[in-house]
Amino acid sequence: MSTKTFMRYPIRQVAFYVPDAREAARQHAEAFGSGPYFVMEHIPMSLARYRGKPGVFDHTSAYGQWGDVMIEMVQVHSSEPSVFSDLYPDGGPGFHHIALIVDDLPTAMKEFEAAGFSEGFYGEVQPGAGFAMMDATKQFGHFVELYEPSLPLLSVYHRVKSASVNFDGTDPVRDFSLV
């Protein structure tokens, strides 16, 4: 399969692995005018699979908007192997992945695998929205995250983008939860 097939999925998010999601969000907002950032602490996972085996993914993420692209700052709280420690064994910080919203997650995962990008991680966030991190590190130096356009996911994207429309830098880091 040609990677040109993937052109139908625009980049929706750029994510960074950071030691402190709140501080990284604050710094990015200050330096680039992005935001505001919405922080979800210890995002609950109903399923975590790392390299095909049961895994752990205890993380906090800060989501903000920078023009047409969402920025995510990911802080990992657990010491178990992960797609983040794969790329940054010394703890980062650094660019980690781009995210694409795909029509059908299992089909897109098979397409990516056929193109040489193996599954590094698969997880489900409560209330059950699944996502995959496909390993493109050998080819491009980063992972590619795949999501289906579920209502909870699209709601987060909409909330973050809407808040950015008249963002003036005030209160750049805000709390957020899925419940």
Looking up tokens 């590094």, which residue turns up?
120
**Which tops the pLDDT comparison, 22 or 8?**
22
Specify the pLDDT at position 1. Answer: 46
Looking up tokens 């399969």, which residue turns up?
1
Specify the pLDDT at position 4. Answer: 59
Choice among 2-11, 52-61, 97-106, 157-166 with the minimum mean pLDDT: 2-11
Question: CB neighbours of 174 closer than 8 A, spacing ≥ 6?
Answer: 36, 37, 38, 39
Which bin fits 53, alpha (ψ -120 to 50), beta or left (φ > 0)? Answer: beta
Specify the pLDDT at position 38. Answer: 98
Q: State whether the Cα torsion 104-162-156-71 is positive or negative.
A: positive
Q: How many CB atoms are closer than 10 A to CB 161?
A: 15
Please compute the mean of the pLDDT values over residues 142-169 and round it to a whole number: 93
Centroid of chain to Cα 174: 18
Residue 10 sits at the vertex; the CA angle it makes with 176 and 60, to the nearest 5 degrees, is: 25
- Reported as a pLDDT band with limits 50, 70 and 90, residue 44 is confident
Q: Tell me: pLDDT of 63 over 60.
A: yes
CB 55 within 8 A of CB 82: yes
Centroid of chain to Cα 42: 14
Return mean pLDDT, the chain. Answer: 92
Q: pLDDT tens digits, residue range 69-81?
A: 999 999 999 999 9
